[in-house]
Every structure is written in C-alpha cells, then in structure tokens.
Structure 1
Amino acid sequence: MTRTFRFQNYTTRQDPATDPEYGAVCISTDSQDDSDAAACLAASGPMASALSVDDWMRDHLRDPDHRHFRRSFDDFAEFLSTRELAGAEQVTA
C-alpha cells in the first residue's frame, strides 16, 4: 500500500474582513510611596485607531500622576496556504 502526503506551506496575515482594535488601561497608582497600592485600571475600551487611544490617554492625564498605561493591539488572523495567498494577490494586483 502506497500513501502520498502532500505538504503545503502556510502563512498568516491580518484578516482583511475585520478591522483591528486598539486600547489602553491605566496602570498608575494613586500613591508613589505604597508599592501595594491598587492600580487605577481605567480602560479606554476598544477603539478604531491608535490615535484615538492616544487621545484617551491624554485626557486621562488630568488625573494627577496617571501617566502609565498598558496599550494593546488586537486583530484577527487568517491562515492561508501559500498557493491560496498567491492567487489572492493576483486578484488584487
């Protein structure tokens, strides 16, 4: 009995059917002396652009000493064989 296995190369790309999301969370504490102080944890929520997140962080700076943030970028990925990718690029070119 003979078996034939066909291996293909695959790649990932950002899914063109969805938009990425950006966000930020304030990780500043109200007290610089107390290392056990709770972080603010105010969150921007999902936003459509990095500039929108920057604007939200700038607005949050109004709280004294809230200058430390954790930024995030989330997107969806698409997994394609390199053969499919080559065909998709020819259609869009």
Structure 2
Amino acid sequence: MTRRVFRYVPFTIEQDRTAEPEYEARCVSGDETECGAQSGTYRHPGPVEEWQRRHAQETRHLRYRRNFGDYAVMRPPAELAALLSGSGGTV
C-alpha cells in the first residue's frame, strides 16, 4: 500500500480575467406563483438593470432574483509555480 501526504498549500483564488462575467435577472414577484420573466444573460449589469426598470414599469413587479456568474482560477504561491513550471507538471 502506498501512502501519500497532502500538505496545505496557500493558493489564491482570482477572477479569471480572460472570461467575461455574466449577469441576469428573473422576476420573482407574485403571490401564488412567480412571474418568471427573465432578462436574458449579458456581459454587463446595465442591460439587466434596464430590463428590470422596464419590466417594473409595465407590470409594477418589484422583486427580482439577480445572478452573477464568473470563472475563477486558483494560483499557487510563486515558489510552487516555479517548481511546477520547471518540471512540466500542473496543479
């Protein structure tokens, strides 16, 4: 039986700047059931906020579920990254 020891490595978690974030909203107004109207997905919050304003004007609905999505990258500390890049390994 082989034994492995895993040690704590202080990775940092950063937003992946190469991928665009996503914004969207869904109307959750309603007593018995939610309205369910959706803004669609955009790369900036502005169009979603404008959709909310228009939907509220048209329907008087005032409650929305907003979603923001992005991608994250885990970065090893510099000394570990140097070791990995020298050996061709990945984390």
**Number of the residue aligned with 1:57:** 52
What are the within-5 Å matches in structure 2 for residues 1-93 of structure 1? 7-29=8-30, 37-83=32-78
**Number of the residue aligned with 1:90:** none
**Number of the residue aligned with 1:33:** none
Contact residue 24 and residue 53 of structure 1 kept, 8 A: yes
Q: What is the TM-score with the length of structure 2 in the denominator?
A: 0.72
Distance 1:60-1:10 versus aligned 2 partners, 3 A rule: same
Q: What is the TM-score with the length of structure 1 in the denominator?
A: 0.70
Q: Which runs of 5+ in 1 are unaligned?
A: 30-35, 88-93
User: Offset at 1:64?
Assistant: 2.8
Distance 1:4-1:38 versus aligned 2 partners, 3 A rule: closer
SS in 1 for 2:39: coil
Q: State the superposition RMSD in angstroms.
A: 2.5
User: Offset at 1:7?
Assistant: 5.0
Identity over aligned residues, as a percent? Answer: 37
Distance 1:64-1:4 versus aligned 2 partners, 3 A rule: closer
Moved over 2 A (4+): 3-8, 62-65
